[in-house]
Amino acid sequence: MKFACVFALVGTAAMAETPQTVAATATQTGGGWRFDVTVAHPDTGWDHYADGWAVEDAAGNALGLRVLVHPHVTEQPFTRSMTITADLPDVVYIRSRCNVDGWSDTRVEVTLR
């Protein structure tokens, strides 16, 4: 079963300093949930880039963290994946961060069940 949330934030993401989650899908696997998350951020290189995204519960507790280990200056927006094998609530939230400005104030809701 696959669920998707797609947002039209790509045009505004380049003006923001914090990264924006522009799409997120969750696919149930035999061992948990696979998240494919698309992030947009005006990466300038190692000095300022989107360096991760998290799956959170409603209270903002991190359920999984995907660390991004390098800038994506020429690949915008970009998609990366993560699988979480723990039990998850019916609704989770995706939040992105960068190494300068920290976590985005915007969270994307993803309904799993």
Closest CA to 103 of 111, 94, 113, 95: 95
Fold of 2-103: Immunoglobulin-like (2.60.40)
pLDDT, tens only, 13-66: 444 478 999 999 999 998 899 999 999 999 889 999 999 999 999 999 999 999
On whether the CB atoms of residues 10 and 45 are closer than 8 A, the answer is no
Domain boundaries, the chain: 2-103
Q: How much is the pLDDT for 30?
A: 87
Q: How much is the pLDDT for 4?
A: 52
Residue 39 pairs with which residues in a beta bridge? 21, 78
Q: Is the pLDDT score of 74 beyond 60?
A: yes
Counting Cα atoms < 13 Å in the Cβ hemisphere of 103 gives: 15
Element (H, E) at 66: strand 62-67
pLDDT, tens only, 84-107: 998 999 999 999 999 999 999 999
Q: How much is the pLDDT for 8?
A: 37
Q: How much is the pLDDT for 97?
A: 95
On whether the CB atoms of residues 57 and 89 are closer than 8 A, the answer is yes
Q: How much is the pLDDT for 6?
A: 44
